[in-house]
Amino acid sequence: MPEEQPYYGKHGEPRKYDPTFKGPIYNRGCTDIVCCIFFIICILGYVAVGILAWSQGDPRKVIYPTDSRGQFCGQAGTPLETKPLLFYFNIMKCASPMVLLEFQCPTTQMCVEKCPDKFMTLLKAYANKEDFKYYKNFCKEGLEGLTVTQILSSGLCPAMLTPSKPFTRRCFPALDQKKGGEITVGNNSKFDDGEGNIRDAKDLVAGVKNATVVIEARQVVMKIFEDYTQSWYWILIGLVIAMLISLLFIVLLRFLAGIMVWVMIVMVILVIGYGIFHCSMEYVSLKSEAGSNVTLKDLGFQTDFSVYLHIRQTWLAFIIILAIVEVVIILLLIFLRNRILIAIALIKEASRAIGYVMSALFYPLFTFALLSIVIAYWAVTAVFLSTSNQPIYKVFNDTACDHSRKICEPANFSTSSMKAECPDSKCLFAFYGGETVYHKYLIGLQFYNVFLFFWCANFVTALGQMTLAGAFASYYWALVKPDDMPAFPIFSSLGRSLRYHTGSLAFGSLILSIIQIIRVLLEYIDHKLQGTQNKCTKFLLCCLKCCFWCLEKFIKFINRNAYIMVAIYGKNFCTSAKDAFFLLMRNMIRVAVLDKVTDFLLFLGKLLIVGLVGIFAFFFFSGRVKAFENTAPNLHYYWVPILTVVVGSYLIAHGFFSVYAMCVDTLFLCFCEDLERNDGSLARPYYMSASLHDILLGNKAVEETEEPTQSSTHQPDDQDVQLKQ
């Protein structure tokens, strides 16, 4: 038998025909071995960093507040177990209560059982036995036989007590704000500071504005927490509904792809139209309400977001945004109506592929589990690293002192030269630090932790993409479906990816991680230079951030298609990335016409699911429907569970539709490869289905040079199979 001459496809740049090619199942070999070894070494180093952090770190520093001696308040098994709250002797020495969260307030701090609940000064309490007994709960030991002057000079007691409330395990003044904007503490606008001065309540914080933010922020946080405790089970029900709708949508796409796409498009338009109608009704109804004409600029930032819903300008903004979205979608549908028919054919083919690989729908759960492990390991390691410092004590003094803010030792400070030169100074806990080699390189270890987090997270995402691509590619390149497909396509593809292509996955994810860590560094530099940078520096940083954002998007696109080519041919990452890039460039029109239109349709599907669940959540939690008035929980902010359900629904819908998107991208690349490998003859039949061939190649907008006579040679019969084999 004469040797067969090589065949070169006539679609774009020639691709040599390989009669031995049978899809992604055979002819595998390990790729990018050096990067695989490097990745394994880095993972082992990551484990070593975790072990080192866990041996040195102490998460109690995050959980429990620390007093001036570096002791943990409320820690079980210690003398301070029954004193879980941190009390500040003179909170006015702190710039703001927010500074207290950084553990660097220059005043004595001690652990107490309860926060003070009344106004009291040491001078008045000392004269009353019962009052002084109560006052001692907020003082150090060793008060016997001392006068008020001696107690104050020794720093054993605070000069005054103010009504306080616990927040983040610390005693904050019980600040409040009256309707007129006046700041009060314990319902009083003034108080005695214990030194013979009558002070305003606003002096307890750095200005009225900061006090208002702290008060309202504290109230909002507590109310949001209460809302979650009241509505968490309803939120779970909403997320389950979103999952069921997504699953139902995917199943219906499997059997009624064409009808479901058009139904989806119509419903998205109707849902957005209903949103415009509802916002218009709200806008009109607020016309007669007093104060509704206030502008958002005049209103400023409000922690109670429900205030914005009583402003007409808010609803006008909603109307404009929704109207723009509606017009854009309608215009796209009008101009892309022919392309949508082609995209529907690709979605139908994807539905058939998913029908043969139904386990792919649940693979995102596996990816989610792996990502959860990666995130949890990073978070735990970061906490242990950040808490592995030693307590640092510094000298704090109210008057001029040469040793102020210098490091000191509390054990021998009373007999030190610092105390002798500055009699009224104190050696107080300042922060956590250290001077050892480990502490010097702690920032580097944190950086390594962040970088490995990016690398591992990108690796898990890449593994999911390659696994799905391999499974769907095995469907496309099977002449007889499902006989030529592996028994378990997902597990088979996962095994191939880990066994042969771990190095390629690590290589692609490493490139992406380097770009992401550069973006993090740029954000860090921008934050550090805030307020000191000139316009030129600001412009340069803005350009760099924009360029690296675009580069990250481009690399993600290249990586995604490179993983598909690796799954199909089993070549190394660079070769696959090059092949994928030039293949897409040779089919640039098809990429714009088919792939991106299909992505747009799938995005509309996610938008529809989020819209349906969001509307249901809005009417349920807001109590707008009388049938749900007695069922819905009583909430401070009904937007809290609504936003939670909406965001959760989008993530769930994205998880299901990401399988479809990966399937479409894989089939699209396989289709382009099929055109370059085969000619549709009996000897070299197309692997694509009849409907896909007729729509993709029969449409002039997609392929102007295609001969109509080829449409009858796409589907292989038994003779074709024998010739192929």
Please identify which residue in the block is written with the tokens 């496809």: 9
SS3 per-residue string spanning 301-336: CCCCHHHHHHCHHHHHHHHHHHHHHHHHHHHHHHHC
Residue from 453, 456, 398, 392 nearest 425 by CA: 398
Look at residue 19 in the predicted model and tell me its pLDDT. 55
- Evaluate whether 339 touches 593 at the Cβ level (below 8 Å): yes
Look at residue 41 in the predicted model and tell me its pLDDT. 95
Look at residue 676 in the predicted model and tell me its pLDDT. 76
Ramachandran region, residue 434 (left: φ > 0; alpha: ψ -120 to 50; beta: rest): left
Length of the chain: 725
The pLDDT-based confidence of 26 (bands split at 50, 70, 90) is: low
CA dihedral of 459, 462, 463, 465, whole degrees rounded to 10:
170
Rounded Cα distance, 696 and 715, in Å: 14
What's the DSSP call for residue 390? Answer: E
Above pLDDT 90, what percent of the chain? Answer: 10
Per DSSP, the three-state class of 99 is helix
SS3 per-residue string spanning 337-382: HHHHHHHHHHHHHHHHHHHHCHHHHHHHHHHHHHHHHHHHHHHHHH
Neighbour count for residue 188 (Cβ, 10 Å): 11
Name the H helices within 477-534. 489-500, 502-528
- How crowded is the C-beta side of 719, counted as CA atoms within 13 Å? 4
Residue from 343, 358, 349 nearest 670 by CA: 349
- Evaluate whether 439 touches 53 at the Cβ level (below 8 Å): no
The pLDDT-based confidence of 57 (bands split at 50, 70, 90) is: confident
- Evaluate whether 113 touches 125 at the Cβ level (below 8 Å): no
Look at residue 63 in the predicted model and tell me its pLDDT. 67
pLDDT tens-digit readout, 350-368: 888 888 888 888 888 888 8
- Evaluate whether 347 touches 667 at the Cβ level (below 8 Å): no
Rounded Cα distance, 521 and 690, in Å: 52
Look at residue 420 in the predicted model and tell me its pLDDT. 76
Assigned token pair, 117: 């609940």
Q: What letter represents residue 249's amino acid? A: F
pLDDT tens-digit readout, 262-310: 887 888 888 888 888 888 887 787 776 665 666 666 665 555 566 666 7
Per DSSP, the three-state class of 396 is strand
- The pairing of strands 120-121 and 160-161 is antiparallel
Per DSSP, the three-state class of 646 is helix
The pLDDT-based confidence of 89 (bands split at 50, 70, 90) is: confident
128-137, 183-192, 324-333, 578-587: least confidently modelled range: 183-192
- Inform me whether the pLDDT recorded for 210 exceeds 60: no
Peptide bond into 482 cis (omega under 30): yes
Please identify which residue in the block is written with the tokens 């592995």: 388
- Give 393 or 615, the one with higher predicted confidence: 615
- Inform me whether the pLDDT recorded for 504 exceeds 90: yes
Measured CA distances, 190 to 14, 89, 91 (Å): 86, 18, 15
DSSP 183-226: EEETTBSEEE-SSS-EEEGGGGTTHHHHHHHHHHHHHHHHHHHH
Long-range contact list for 629-632, CB < 8 A, 24+ apart?
632/234
Residue from 457, 464, 446, 462 nearest 376 by CA: 457
Contacts of 66 (CB under 8 A, 6+ apart): 72, 73, 86, 103, 109, 391, 429
pLDDT tens-digit readout, 640-651: 888 888 888 888
Long-range contact list for 161-166, CB < 8 A, 24+ apart?
161/116, 161/118, 161/119, 161/120, 161/121, 161/135, 162/91, 162/116, 162/119, 162/186, 162/191, 162/204, 163/116, 163/117, 163/118, 163/119, 164/87, 164/115, 164/116, 164/117, 165/115, 166/85, 166/115
pLDDT tens-digit readout, 690-722: 766 766 665 443 443 333 333 333 444 333 333
CA dihedral of 465, 467, 469, 474, whole degrees rounded to 10:
180
pLDDT tens-digit readout, 610-638: 888 888 888 787 766 666 666 777 777 77
pLDDT tens-digit readout, 545-604: 899 999 999 999 899 999 998 988 888 899 999 988 888 888 777 676 666 777 777 888
Above pLDDT 70, what percent of the chain? Answer: 74
Assigned token pair, 59: 């998460």
Please identify which residue in the block is written with the tokens 């539709």: 657
- Give 708 or 71, the one with higher predicted confidence: 71
Mean pLDDT, residues 131-142: 85
Distance from the first to the final alpha carbon of the chain: 16
Bridge partners of 192? 198
Bridge partners of 393? 429
